[in-house]
Structure 1
Amino acid sequence: NVELGSLWRDQTAVIFFLRRFGCQICRWAAVEVSKLEGSLRANDVALVGIGPEETGLKEFMDGGFFKGDIYIDETKQCYKELGFKRYNAFNLLPAALGKQVREIASKASNEGIQGNFSGDLLQSGGMLIVAKGGEKVLLHFIQETPGDLVPLIDITKALGISASVQPGEKP
């Protein structure tokens, strides 16, 4: 067991909360945020991914989608405390079929990133960036739809660093 606060105790942390490890959009977003890994490391910033369950973890790891450390929050306690909502039968379908989701899924497919529907389809995710020691939350992003993602430039701005990466085509 790892306490969430320990992730930023000794260094600033970018924490990416994935919806599911099998989610095609999440995999594409993991590849995107991983483009910052070198700049983050050079600035003593940890890159951490958290998933809500182990389902799909092996395939996610084998696919090399994410360059940071990975943790599992099987109780989804962090997800609840940070306000990451759960979809229901009424709001999942419209959210999943939205234009932004379709555009990212198409881009992911074009880049050879596939997904599956294994695991908890109802959990949303987001991102948390916390300064070293927990003295300040630099960014708290909650997904409203599965296609809501934090642009790389917003991550670097929140951290006050520069990075020479080429983000994927913006959806």
Structure 2
Amino acid sequence: MAKVDLGQVGKNLLKSESGASVALQSLWQGQPVVLFFLRRFGCQVCRWMAAEISKLEPELRAGGVALVGVGPEELGLEDFKEGGFFRGSIYVDEKKKCYQDLGFKRYSAISIIPAAIGKRVRDVAAKAKADGIQGNFSGDLLQSGGLLIVDKGGENVLMHFIQDSPGDHPTLEDISNAVGISATVTPGERPVCNDDVCTR
């Protein structure tokens, strides 16, 4: 996996919820930060992942760690916020520069189809549906995402997770271990699937 150049990616500008432009590196100046890069705000799987990661928010906050969500476009942001899927602050990378610099791949119109209907995506989508989380197909369907955890002051990259499939995500335990907190939350159970049926 390519090494993250925090000096380079940190200069990229994000749009805050208030509309102000902020440099990515400002988010880790005062504290460690967990940065969750969503594929789309309307993505059902992303919404479930956001809700999962948000289970850690109280313990992250107690440990002095910020939780931040980043989307590649503003489309769907209001619905996402109204749905209450994510408990951290939210920014938009309108130029998708962070996504590019962090190696989050873009699918082609052809390659997204097998990725989107793959077993890992179906598993998470089934769990999201069981949890009452819906999604839509608005926006950029081709962007993938991931997770970046940076130590206070940009000293170290504690985790750099790149989605291989749209259904990939790090475990809550992996995130907790990366920032050195003890998580007492219970992760949502991934459903057990075969080719014909998914169950909780």
Taking structure 2 as the reference length, what is the TM-score of the superposition? 0.84
Q: 1:153 aligns with which of 157, 162, 173?
A: 173
One-letter code of the match for 1:35?
K
Q: 1:132 aligns with which of 128, 152, 176?
A: 152
Identity %: 66
Q: 1:118 aligns with which of 138, 157, 161?
A: 138
Q: Whole-Å Cα distance in 2 between the matches of residues 110 and 170 of structure 1?
A: 10
Q: 1:80 aligns with which of 100, 118, 124?
A: 100
Which residue does 2:33 correspond to in 1?
Answer: 13
* Shift >6 Å, 4+ stretches: none
**Aligned CA-pair RMSD:** 0.7
Secondary structure of the structure 2 residue equivalent to 1:161? coil
Secondary structure of the structure 2 residue equivalent to 1:90? coil
Q: Whole-Å Cα distance in 2 between the matches of residues 165 and 102 of structure 1?
A: 24
One-letter code of the match for 1:17?
F
Equivalent pairs counted in the alignment come to 171
User: Which whole-Å deviations, capped at 9, do the CAs of 1:39-75 have from their partners, x for residues lacking one?
Assistant: 0000000000000001100000000000000000010
One-letter code of the match for 1:56?
G
Which residue does 2:185 correspond to in 1?
Answer: 165
Extract unaligned runs of 5+ from structure 2: 1-20, 192-200
Q: Which has the larger radius of gyration?
A: 2
Secondary structure of the structure 2 residue equivalent to 1:140? strand
For residues 39-58 of structure 1, the aligned pairs below 5 Å read 39-58=59-78
Shift of 1:91: 1.2
Q: Whole-Å Cα distance in 2 between the matches of residues 54 and 44 of structure 1?
A: 28
Q: Whole-Å Cα distance in 2 between the matches of residues 139 and 86 of structure 1?
A: 21
Which residue does 2:48 correspond to in 1?
Answer: 28
Secondary structure of the structure 1 residue equivalent to 2:90? strand
Q: 1:2 aligns with which of 17, 22, 42?
A: 22
Extract unaligned runs of 5+ from structure 1: none
Shift of 1:170: 3.1
For residues 52-71 of structure 1, the aligned pairs below 5 Å read 52-71=72-91
Q: Whole-Å Cα distance in 2 between the matches of residues 90 and 114 of structure 1?
A: 24
- Once the two structures are overlaid, the 10-residue window that deviates more, 151-160 or 28-37, is 151-160
Q: Whole-Å Cα distance in 1 between the matches of residues 118 and 52 of structure 2?
A: 20
- Once the two structures are overlaid, the 10-residue window that deviates more, 108-117 or 86-95, is 86-95
Q: Whole-Å Cα distance in 1 between the matches of residues 178 and 82 of structure 2?
A: 30
Q: Whole-Å Cα distance in 2 between the matches of residues 21 and 69 of structure 1?
A: 14
Q: Whole-Å Cα distance in 1 between the matches of residues 102 and 123 of structure 2?
A: 27
Q: Whole-Å Cα distance in 2 between the matches of residues 34 and 51 of structure 1?
A: 16
Shift of 1:163: 1.1
Q: Which one has more relative contact order, counting CA pairs under 8 Å at least 6 apart? A: 1
Q: 1:101 aligns with which of 110, 116, 121?
A: 121
Shift of 1:161: 1.1
One-letter code of the match for 1:91?
S
Conserved 8 A contact 2:123-2:190:
no
Secondary structure of the structure 2 residue equivalent to 1:47? strand
